[in-house]
Structure 1
C-alpha cells in the first residue's frame, strides 16, 4: 500500500506543477502531507518527519543564501563587467559561440564536483551575455543542469562515492572504466549545445556590437546594473577575494557555508561601508534569496515525509520485483536507463543506499559483478540534476530567472539523450555488460 501511495504521490505532484495547478513550493509541501495522512500517519508523526527533512537541507540553504548574496554584491560592484566585455568582443555577438562556450565552461567548472558552485559561476559569467543578445535563457539553464549531471559522475562528485560505498566496491575500479563514458557525455553535451546555438543564431543572427555601449546594454537588460554601485577602484580586491574563495571551495578544507558567510560579510563591508547602502544591497537581493531558499526547505519537507513514511523503501522493493527473470542478465543496462528516473523522484541517498543494494543483490544471482551495477547506477545523473528534490536546481532556475517546470520541459529531452549515449558507450567499452 505504501508503494502504491508513493507512486501516486509522485504522479499527482508532477501533474500539479506541470499543469500549473499549484506552484512547485506549495506542491512540495502539501502533496506529501496529504498522502502521509492517507497512509494513516498522525500529524505529530508527520511533523517529526518534516523537521527531520528540513534539518537535512538546512546547511545547503544557508550556503545558497550567502552565496547568492555574495555574488550579488560582486555583480553590483562590477567585478564581472570586464570579463563580460572581453567575452563579448571574442564571440562578436555570435549566439552559437556563446552557447557552446556555456557547455564548455559548465563542465570545466563542474570538475570541483559541486553543483551549487558550478551554477553560480556559470550563470554569473554567462547570463549577462544571454540577456544582452536575447538568447533563450532556458538554454543556459538546460546546458548547466545536464552538463552538471554528466560531471556528477566524477569520483569526487555526488553519485560515484555513494555508489562505491553503498556496494562496497573500490572507487578506482568503478571510475577507471567510466572515463570514456564520461567523455562521451561531454562530447554529447558539446554537440547538443552546437545545435542549440545554431538554432539561436538562425533566429537572432550574428549581432553587430560595434558602437554599442556595453554599460548601456547592461543597464537596459540587467536589473541591478546601476553605475552608482560600481566599485572600479576595488576591482582587484574583489577579484582576489573571489579567487581565494574559489580556491578554498575547490580545496574542500573549509565548510562551504562558512566560506560564503565570511566572504559576503567582507565584500559587503569593503564595497559598501555605509550602513544604509548595506541594507539596500541586502534588500535588493532578498527576494531572490527568499524564493530559492523557501523552495529548498519545501523540498526538505517532501523528502522528509517520503523517507519517514518508508514510502521510498517500499517503492524500491516493488520496482525491483517487477524485473522478470528473463531480463535478469540485462540488469546493468536496466539500471543505467532507469537510474535517472529513480533519482528524479527520490534523493540520491535514498536511491544509492536503499534501492541500489537490492538491485546489486538481484544482479549477483545472475553472476553480475556489483561494480557493473555501481557504474550503471551513476549514468542517470543528467536526469537526476533536473529533479525538484535537488537543492541546487532551485538555485539554478532562480539565478537564470526561469520556472522549474519550464526548465524541466526544455532540458529533459537533452538529459535523456545524454543518458542513452552514455549507456551505449558504457556497453561498447565494457564498463557494463549487455549479457
Structure 2
C-alpha cells in the first residue's frame, strides 16, 4: 500500500510540475501531506517529517539565498559584462563553440563533486551569453546537467560513497573501472553539444528569418535583471573579480560551507561597492525576492523528501519494484534496473536508490552469479546520468532559480536525451566488460 501511495504521489507531483498549472511550492507540499494522512500518519508525524526533511536541504537553501544576493551584486557592479563581451567576441557568435564551451566549463566546475556549485559557476558565466546569442536556455541546462552527472562518478561525490558503504569496499577501487566510462561519457557529451549546437544554429536562423522571438520568460533570472548604470563600479572590477574568484575557490576547495562562503562574500561585496547602509540594504532588498522565492521551493522539496522517507514510501517503492518483474528476467535484473535508472530518478531519492533498491537487486543478482561490483556499476551508470533532471535533486531547483526557468520544461527538453545517454553508456560498459551479464 505504501508503494502505491508513494508512486501515485510522485506521479501527481511530476504531472503538476510538467503541466505548470500550479507553482512548484504547491506541487511539492500538498500532495505528499495528503498522501501521508491517507497512509495513516498523524500531525505529530508530519512535524517530525518536516524537521527531518528540512535538515537535509537547509544548507542548500541557505547557500541559495546568499549566492543569489552575491551574484546579484556582482551583476549590479557590472562584473560579468566584460566577460560576456569577450566570450561573444571569441565565439564570434558561433553557437556550436558556445555549446562545446558549456560542456568544458561544467566538467571542470564539477570536479569538486558538488552539483550546486557547478550550476552556480556555469549558469552565472554562460546564461548571459546564451541570451545574447539567442540560444535556448534549456539547452544550457541540458549540457550542464549531463556533463555534471557524468563527472559525478568521482569518488568524493555522493553516489559512489553510498555504494561503497553498502558493499563495505574502498571507494577509490570502486571508481577506477568507471574512469574510462567517464572519459567516454564526456566525449559523448561533446558530440551531443556539437549536434545540439548545429540544431540550435538552424533554429536561430529560422527564428530570425520568420521574425519569431525565442519565447522564454527569464525575468526571474538574477542574470537578466535590468541594471541601473549608477550601480556599476567600473573602477572596482578587478577587486570584485578577485572577490568572486576567491569565493568560488573557497566553494570548490570545501574550505568553508558554501552558504558561509557566500555570506562572507556578500558581507565584503556590500561595503566594497556601496558606502552607505541605505545603499547596501537596497542591494539586498533588490535581490531578496528571487532568493527567497527559490529558497522556499527548496524547503518545500525538503518537506516532500521528509514525508516520503519518513513514511517509508521510498523504501517500499524500492523493495517492491523488483517484485513486479517476471521470474525469467530476474537474472538480468541489474541491467533492467540500470536501463530504468533515469526514470527511477523521478521516483526515488538518491538515498532510496542506493540504500534501499541496490541491496535488494544485488542479492537477487548474486543468486545468478552476477558479482556485486557489476550490479553496482550497472545501477550507477544507469541512474547517475539523470541526477540533474530529477525534481528530487535540490541542486536542480538551484539551477532553475539561477536561470529563471521551469522544472516541467526542463524535464521535457532534457529527459529523453539524458535517458538515451544513460543507455548508451550502459551498452558501452557491457562491451568493455565493466558490467557482467
Task: Report the number of matched residues.
Answer: 422
- Matches of 1:184 and 1:418, distance apart in 2: 11
Aligned to 1:410: 413
The structural deviation recorded for 1:92 is: 0.6
- Greater shift in the superposed pair: 281-290 or 27-36: 281-290
Q: Please give the TM-score of this superposition, normalised by the length of structure 2.
A: 0.92
The structural deviation recorded for 1:186 is: 1.0
Cα deviation, 1:152-183, whole Å, max 9, x if unaligned, reads: 11212221111211222222222111112112
Match runs of 1:289-328 below 5 Å: 289-328=291-330
> Of residues 418, 422, 426 in structure 2, which corresponds to 1:423?
426
1:378 corresponds to 2:394: no
Aligned to 1:241: 243
* Contact 1:169–1:371 (8 Å) recurs in 2: no
* Contact 2:341–2:379 (8 Å) recurs in 1: yes
Match runs of 1:221-260 below 5 Å: 222-260=224-262
Aligned to 1:217: none
Aligned to 1:210: none
Gaps of 5+ in 1: 208-220
- Greater shift in the superposed pair: 28-37 or 282-291: 282-291
The structural deviation recorded for 1:335 is: 3.0
Match runs of 1:21-100 below 5 Å: 21-100=21-100
> Of residues 393, 396, 400 in structure 2, which corresponds to 1:397?
400
- Matches of 2:48 and 2:328, distance apart in 1: 43
- Matches of 2:80 and 2:74, distance apart in 1: 7
- Matches of 1:345 and 1:88, distance apart in 2: 40
* Contact 2:65–2:288 (8 Å) recurs in 1: no
* Contact 1:66–1:264 (8 Å) recurs in 2: yes
The structural deviation recorded for 1:294 is: 0.9
The structural deviation recorded for 1:206 is: 12
Cα deviation, 1:96-123, whole Å, max 9, x if unaligned, reads: 2212221221122112211111111111
* Contact 1:331–1:363 (8 Å) recurs in 2: yes
Structure 1 counterpart SS, 2:345: helix
* Contact 2:345–2:392 (8 Å) recurs in 1: no
The structural deviation recorded for 1:205 is: 4.2
Root mean square deviation of aligned Cα: 2.0
- Matches of 2:408 and 2:233, distance apart in 1: 37
- Matches of 2:158 and 2:290, distance apart in 1: 26
Match runs of 1:100-139 below 5 Å: 100-139=100-139
Aligned to 1:144: 144
- Matches of 1:229 and 1:125, distance apart in 2: 20
- Greater shift in the superposed pair: 14-23 or 283-292: 14-23
Aligned to 1:11: 11
- Matches of 1:256 and 1:141, distance apart in 2: 21
Gaps of 5+ in 2: 208-222
* Contact 2:138–2:410 (8 Å) recurs in 1: yes
* Contact 1:164–1:374 (8 Å) recurs in 2: no
The structural deviation recorded for 1:405 is: 0.5
Change (3 A) 1:206 1:41: closer
